Amino acid sequence: MITAGEFRNGVTFELDGNVFQVVEFQHVKPGKGAAFVRTKLKNVITGAVIEKTFRPTEKMPKAHIERKDMEYSYNDGDLYYFMDQETFDMLPIGKDQVGDSLKFVKENMTCKILSYKGNVFGIEPPTFVELAITETEPGFKGDTATGATKPATLETGAVIQVPLFVDNSDVIRVDTRTGEYMERV
């Protein structure tokens, strides 16, 4: 059990049959009346964000979210297969649970599979990935002073904005949290 007075960013707990993660919290002690905790909570299953206030003594059961490293193997229509690196078991995950989280992930990359009580609800790709550019307009030498960008298609099919000097078949590093170009490799 965890009390609202013990909330910190990233803490997960159960409330009304759902699992929430604390995104922001603020302990408020007004001049009159009892103290309270103002929070911004993210439902880890649906991704919805709500704001809620608690009394500091309210207790909720703590929720343990399991994060397991698994290797993305392949996709077969609407199913994406991940291999457990210890037991070599294959875990199929539906397209609706994957969402956009695999748009920067190639086969044989390691991802974190998020589950709660055995039910998979999300996938965390690696923070930075190195991908080759398959299609972009040609760049021009010396055309870097303006900071202009152009669209580029990556080997996974995702399209991002890259600087003008980046060409086809260049390998670049991408931040998967923001989808931004970081550097040429």
Instruction: Give 60-129 as a DSSP string.
Output: E-B---EEEEEEEEEEETTEEEEEETTT--EEEEEHHHHTTTTTT--TT-EEEEEEETTEEEEEE--SEE
- Residue 54 or residue 145, greater confidence: 54
Tell me the percentage of the chain whose pLDDT exceeds 90: 34
Query: pLDDT tier at 145 (50, 70, 90 boundaries)?
Result: low
pLDDT value at residue 142: 59
pLDDT at 35 over 60: yes
State the number of CA atoms in the 13 A half-sphere of 94 facing the CB: 5
pLDDT at 103 over 70: yes
pLDDT at 143 over 80: no
Q: Where are the domains of the chain?
A: 2-60, 66-124, 128-184
Whether CATH 2.40.50.140 fits 128-184: yes
Instruction: Please name the fold of domain 66-124.
Output: OB fold (Dihydrolipoamide Acetyltransferase, E2P) (2.40.50)
d(CA 179, CA 181): 7
Fold match between 2-60 and 66-124?
no
Query: pLDDT tier at 114 (50, 70, 90 boundaries)?
Result: confident
- Residue 122 or residue 62, greater confidence: 62
pLDDT at 102 over 60: yes
pLDDT at 137 over 70: yes
- Residue 147 or residue 154, greater confidence: 154
Query: pLDDT tier at 169 (50, 70, 90 boundaries)?
Result: confident
pLDDT value at residue 144: 58
pLDDT value at residue 173: 93
Mean pLDDT, the chain, whole residue set: 87
Domain range 2-60, CATH class: mainly beta
d(CA 105, CA 35): 46
d(CA 9, CA 15): 16
